[in-house]
Structures are given as structure tokens and as C-alpha cells.
Amino acid sequence: MPADAIVDRYRRPMRNLRISVTDRCNLRCRYCMPEAEYVWLPRRDLLTFEEVSTLTDVFMSLGVDKVRLTGGEPLLRRELPELVSMLSRKPGLRDLAMTTNGVLLADHVEALRAAGLGRVTVSLDTLRADRSRSLSQRNSHAAVLEGIASVAPAGFTGTKIDTVAMRGVNDDELADLIEFGRTVPAEVRFIEYMDVGGATNWSKDLVLSRAEMLSRLTDHYGPITPLADTGAAPADRFALPDGSTFGIVSSTTQPFCATCDRSRLTADGMWFRCLYAVEGTNLRDPLRDGASFEELRALITGRWEAREDRGAVDRLAERDRMPFIPVATLKANPHLEMHTRGG
């Protein structure tokens, strides 16, 4: 960590930066992009790779040492390996990862590895093609499985599979997904369905809680052991009786805001300090207007030091919880969408 690493009002450092490289996606997962139409970011506003690299340098000078490329679907961004190569050369970047839906992964995996990408997380909610079609509203399941199969042969280790676990949708596949993960090999992380912007069909009845997941998996496998706290990592990890592991991200029922060290940069340079934040900071305009490294640093420092966000904890306190943001508001401000700010 740099000597002048910054902390927010709750003394949380800024270590983890998620960079959304595009708001476009080739799937329409019902928990993320359920609507028929979307308002897209204007192309002229998208940060160039040089701009992303410059901002990353500023963030790194203040404590960021982990970067995750995301979207939208990051592999829809042309020449992504070029950006990977610019970022992977930065001394001090401990971890460079990407979250993808896997559809285009097999085509790009070699180039990404050669460019220095460290780890890959692939989202996979079901092993059943018919379910995948209905959940993602696209016919891409075979391509996703091919993408997942391509990761280990390309030389990646530490691969993860992210599954949004939903009641009545895929809750009968928890053990099947863990078994599939062993074959990849990849650690499966079950994510509770969150009422983030974009999740306009969210209802608490569809949330499969961490407690229920553990109960079902205990019924299937026998006693499950919690593993030691991983600090700011969102997933709590558990071991099955045979020692193999899986994770649960319980953002909805047991949020981990108290240790949250992550923030998000959208493809057009808006910086959000919480997944639930309704306001972000425009870093693109100062950058394009010629702000110096020190000026950008001061801007980011001021905002982070004022950070009080605990979005998921605040949501938990709400009674009669409904989807977070109405569709009309999302259409008027696409920055509020999960697929824009990067999951």
C-alpha cells in the first residue's frame, strides 16, 4: 500500500477498483437486465484505454491494488487485451481479474492470458440449457460452457464461478453447480439476489438467503465448516466435509459494508463509491479538461474521505422492501443500472 493510502469516514481503505469497460451486453439476465429497451451511454463518452490507464494510476497512488474488469459484458469491448496489457504492466497491481458471462470467452482467453490477465470469474446460474435460455433470454449456454472449459487450458488458475441463487429458479442446482465447479476446476460462489438498480423484478420472496443455502448444502453434503474471515472479500468461504470449498456472497441478508473497500468506474468515467449510490463523480470531464495527476488525486481523495456509504446495510433496514429504483428513473439515468456501473 502507498504511504498516503486514504481511508473513508468508517476508516475503510480504497483498495479494490471495478472498471466497467462497456455498458453493452449480449445477454439479458432477468435479475440484471429484464427490460425490453435500454438507454446506452453515448460512445463518444467512453473512456479510451489510455484514459482508463491514467485514472488507474491515480487510484493506485491512493491505495488501489486490485482491479477487476467488468461491464456490461467486458468481452464486447473491442481490443480488450490491449487494456489488459496496459494494466498488467503496472507495478503494484497485485490482482487483475475479469468478470464475464463467458459467451465470448473461448475466443479471447488465450489473448487475455498472454496480455497478463491474472484471474477469471465466469457467471453461470444453471447447468440446464432450457433454464439458461429463460434466465438470460438468449440461447448461449453451450458457448458459456465452452468458455468455462477454455480457462484452465489457457493457463488460468484461481478461477471462480458466480451464481445468482434464486428461489424457485435455480435453487435445486446448488450441489450440481459445486460438482461442476470441481471439474473446471473453479470455486463456486453463490450470490444472493440483490435489489440493485436494474433489478426491477426483485422481490424478497425470490431471495435465497445464505442461511437457506447452507442448510440445503448441509442436507446434501453433511457438516459444512466456515473458513477463516477473508477481511474485505465479499464472499464468505466454506469447506465441505471432503475439504473442497465454495463461497457465499450474502449482500442482501448479511451485508459486508463495514469492510467494503471497493468502488466502481463506469465506461464513461463516472466513479461510484457504492453499488447503491445514486450519485457518482464525473472523472472524465476533469481528465479531458487537462486536470493534472495531483488535481485528480485531490478530487478522488476528497470524495473517498467523505464516503459514508453502506448501501446494502441501509437497504436491510427498510421494511416492505421493493425494487430499489423505478424503471422510469433508470431510463432517465442509466448510470443507476447495475450493467452500467459494473457488477
- Binding positions for ligand SAM, rule: CB under 6 A: 25, 31-32, 70-71, 73, 99-101, 123, 162, 164, 191, 193-194, 196, 199, 338-339, 343
DSSP code for 343 = -
- 123 vs 240 by CB, closer to ligand SF4: 123
Among the listed residues 8, 73, 173, 192, the single contact to ligand SF4 using CB under 6 A: 73
**221/151 Cα distance (integer angstroms):** 27
- 73 vs 236 by CB, closer to ligand SAM: 73
Do the Cβ atoms of 252 and 199 come closer than 8 Å?
no
Among the listed residues 180, 256, 271, 304, the single contact to ligand SF4 using CB under 6 A: 256
Task: Sketch the per residue contact string, 257 through 276, with ligand SF4: x for CB under 6 A, - otherwise.
Answer: x--x-x-----------xxx
CB of 13 to ligand SAM, least distance (A): 23
- 156 vs 193 by CB, closer to ligand SF4: 193
3-class secondary structure, 329: helix
**Partner touching 255 among ligand SF4, ligand SAM, none, CB below 5 to 8 Å by kind:** ligand SF4
**184/338 Cα distance (integer angstroms):** 28
Interaction with ligand SF4 in 109-148: which residues (CB under 6 A)? 123
- If you search the block for the grid coordinates 481528465, which residue do you land on? 287
Among the listed residues 15, 210, 303, 310, the single contact to ligand SF4 using CB under 6 A: 310
DSSP code for 98 = E
**Partner touching 180 among ligand SAM, ligand SF4, none, CB below 5 to 8 Å by kind:** none
DSSP code for 5 = -
Among the listed residues 6, 13, 55, 72, the single contact to ligand SF4 using CB under 6 A: 72
- 284 vs 339 by CB, closer to ligand SF4: 339
Q: Hey, what's the cell of 226? A: 466456515
- 143 vs 338 by CB, closer to ligand SAM: 338
Characterize 178-212 residue by residue with b for buried, 16 or more Cβ atoms within 10 angstroms of its Cβ, and e for exposed: bebbeebebbbbbbbbbbbbbbbebeeebbbbbeb
Amino acid at 188: V
Among the listed residues 14, 21, 32, 330, the single contact to ligand SF4 using CB under 6 A: 32
- If you search the block for the grid coordinates 450441489, which residue do you land on? 175
3-state helix, strand, coil in the chain (%, to 5): 35, 15, 50
**231/256 Cα distance (integer angstroms):** 10
Residue 309 lies near ligand SF4 (rule: CB under 6 A):
yes
Do the Cβ atoms of 17 and 265 come closer than 8 Å?
yes
**Partner touching 41 among ligand SAM, ligand SF4, none, CB below 5 to 8 Å by kind:** none
**Partner touching 193 among ligand SAM, ligand SF4, none, CB below 5 to 8 Å by kind:** ligand SAM
Amino acid at 157: T
Among the listed residues 22, 101, 140, 170, the single contact to ligand SF4 using CB under 6 A: 101
Residue 28 lies near ligand SF4 (rule: CB under 6 A):
yes
* Residue 283: burial class (beta carbons within 10 Å; 0-12, 13-18, 19+): buried
Closest residue to ligand SAM, based on beta-carbon distance: 343
When computed from its CA atoms, the radius of gyration of the chain, rounded to whole angstroms, is 19
CB of 106 to ligand SF4, least distance (A): 16
Among the listed residues 25, 178, 283, 296, the single contact to ligand SF4 using CB under 6 A: 25
Largest CA distance in the chain: 60
- Provide the CA 194 distance to its chain's centre, in angstroms: 12
Q: What residue ranges bind ligand SF4 (CB under 6 A)?
A: 25, 27-29, 32-33, 71-73, 101, 123, 255-257, 260, 262, 274-276, 309-312, 339
